[in-house]
Each structure stands twice: as C-alpha cells, then as structure tokens.
C-alpha cells in the first residue's frame, strides 16, 4: 500500500474513532437524564388539595379561564423566528467540540470578503490549534504502528520523527491551500455550506469544492488555491522526507491524497450541522 493511501486511511480512522466515542458519550448522557427523570419520586406525587372555600371561590373564575383558554387554543400559535425563516442547522466552530471547523460557514450566510491577513490567520488557527497537536499524536502513533516510513524506525526517536513530519505536513497544507493560495489568487478560503436539496446534490456540491470556489468578489471560479496549493505543499514536504520519497510519483501521490482528503472533509462539513442536530440534538 502506498504511503498516500496509508495517510488517507489513518486520517479517517482517527475521525471515525472520535465520532464513535462522542456518540457513545452523548447517548450515555441522554439515557442517564431520562432515567433520572423517570425515577424522580416527586414527579409522581398528586397536587395538594385546596380548601373547600378556596375551591368555591375559584370555580367561576376557572370556568372563565377555561373558556379563554379554549378560545386561545383555537387560534394557531405564532411560529418562532427560526421556524418562520426555516433557518438551516448551524455550523459549529469545532466538530464534536474537538476538531477545528473554523472555515465552515452556515448555509445562506453572507460575509464580507476576507483580507489577506484574515486568510493567513485562519490558516494559522487550523494549524496550531490545541487539537492539532493531539490529533497529530494519534496519527503519528498509528503511522508508526503500521510502519508507514521504515526509515524513521521505532521507539521514542522514531515516534518523534513521525510526529514532527505529520505536524509540518498539516501546517504546509493549511498555509498553502488556506493562506498563500487564496491571497495570491484572490479567492475565499472558507467553505460555504449548501444546506439545501437532496443528498446527491449536497454531496456533489461539497466534494467538488476542491475544484470550484469563490473569488473575493463572490463569483464562482476554478479553485487554484486548492489544486496549486496542495501541489506546492506536496513538493515542499518532499524536502524534509528521506530521498526515496523525493520522486515525481511520490509527490504526485501525496498531492492527489491531499485533494481527496480535502474533498471528503468538505462532504463531512456539509453534513456536520445535520449530524449535530439529529444525533446530538443541538440546533
């Protein structure tokens, strides 16, 4: 198996593991809440009876209130602002409260153009977020266990090599695709969720964002930032890997793998608000 394919499998093994753990935690917490509500002894107690005099005094008013409530019930209650507007589920700053999701924009949201500084700041946030170091640690452990790069060897020293190579690969990709590329080609580095339509339409839209993006003026254009940026990132990374990986074939594999990973990430980001609402019951 090529090192590009191993990298792809490692990335999604980590994401699947985190998603499964978070789903298990959420399900357990919800079950505990339901159990606590059912076992609450106070919830099964009847209301305390009122004195007879109080009941007689309140009888006429209660009948009036009953008629008022029946007339009120006949009228439809006004919909909440979210129901009236049919607002789609919201993107969150993090996926499962861990993985960065800073560049994902909720559907139907209009934002001002990014400055060059905004693009580099966003790339830096994605590269040096605290979760990036933790995810790199997990990915490095998986790569070392599968002996992805035999030249790195095993043990603490070998793990250190896996770690800093993986961390630097992530930073290269983020700064080339999300920082330098958008600044040079005047393109928006953010992912705008579609949020409407059927599964195929949304999945195709998200998957093709590696090829189609927005300019700073909001127009559709070819995604030079992704294609050129990921290629440049693959070329730069070959400089600090062993010479056996410094070939056109290896660099091309890494380039293609980066584009595939980004495409799959966009698909996940497109459906993350729906997953978050339906599985974790958040708005």
Task: For residue range 221-254, list pLDDT tens digits in order.
Answer: 999 999 999 999 999 999 999 999 999 999 999 9
Phi, psi of 189 (to 5 degrees): -90, 0
Distance between CA atoms of 243 and 149, rounded to whole angstroms?
A: 12
Question: Do residues 136 and 167 touch, judged by C-beta distance below 8 A?
Answer: yes
Residue 58: its pLDDT value, please? 41
Look up residue 106 and give its two tokens.
């909720």
CA distances from 224 to 17, 50, 212, 269 (A): 32, 76, 9, 21
Phi, psi of 220 (to 5 degrees): -75, 140
Residues of the chain scoring pLDDT < 50: 1, 3, 21-22, 25-27, 29, 43, 48, 50, 53-85
Q: 225: which residues sit within 8 A by CB, 6+ positions away? A: 177, 178, 181, 182, 184, 185, 187, 189, 213
Helix (H) or strand (E) holding 184: helix 181-185
pLDDT digits (tens, 9 = 90+) for 198-220: 999 999 999 999 999 999 999 99
Q: 23: which residues sit within 8 A by CB, 6+ positions away? A: 279, 280
pTM beyond 0.85, yes or no: no
The angle at the Cα of 51, spanning 48 to 52, to the nearest 5 degrees, equals 130
Residue 20: its pLDDT value, please? 52
Residue 90: its pLDDT value, please? 93
Helix (H) or strand (E) holding 6: helix 3-38
DSSP 8-state assignment for residue 90: P
Distance between CA atoms of 206 and 222, rounded to whole angstroms?
A: 14
Between strands 220-222 and 212-214, the pairing is: antiparallel
Distance between CA atoms of 27 and 73, rounded to whole angstroms?
A: 36
Look up residue 175 and give its two tokens.
């700064």
Strand partners, 94: 100
Residue 30: its pLDDT value, please? 54
Between strands 99-100 and 94-95, the pairing is: antiparallel
> Residue 128: which of 172, 161, 188, 180 has the closest Cα?
172
Residue 9: its pLDDT value, please? 53
């Amino acid at each position: 198996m090529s090192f590009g394919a191993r990298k792809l499998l490692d990335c999604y093994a980590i994401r699947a593991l985190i998603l499964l753990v978070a789903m298990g935690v959420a399900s357990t917490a919800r079950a505990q809440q339901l159990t606590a509500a059912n076992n609450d002894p106070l919830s099964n107690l009847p209301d305390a009876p009122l004195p007879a005099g109080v009941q007689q005094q309140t009888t006429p008013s209660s009948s009036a209130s009953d008629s008022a409530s029946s007339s009120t019930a006949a009228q439809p209650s006004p919909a909440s602002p979210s129901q009236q507007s049919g607002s789609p589920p919201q993107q969150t700053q993090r996926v499962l409260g861990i993985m960065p999701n800073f560049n994902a924009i909720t559907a139907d949201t209009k934002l001002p153009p990014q400055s060059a500084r905004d693009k580099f700041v966003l790339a830096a946030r994605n590269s040096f977020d605290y979760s990036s170091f933790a995810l790199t640690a997990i990915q490095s452990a998986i790569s070392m266990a599968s002996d992805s790069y035999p030249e790195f060897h095993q043990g603490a020293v070998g793990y250190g090599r896996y770690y800093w190579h993986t961390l630097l690969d992530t930073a290269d990709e983020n700064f080339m695709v999300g920082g330098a590329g958008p600044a040079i080609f005047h393109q928006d580095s953010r992912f705008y969720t579609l949020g409407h339509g059927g599964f195929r339409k949304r999945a195709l839209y998200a998957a093709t964002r590696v090829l189609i993006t927005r300019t700073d003026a909001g127009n559709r254009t070819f995604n030079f930032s992704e294609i050129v940026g990921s290629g440049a990132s693959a070329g730069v990374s070959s400089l600090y890997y062993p010479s056996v990986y410094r070939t056109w074939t290896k660099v091309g594999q890494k380039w293609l793998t980066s584009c595939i990973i980004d495409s799959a990430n966009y698909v996940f980001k497109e459906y993350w608000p729906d997953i978050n609402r339906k599985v974790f019951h958040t708005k």
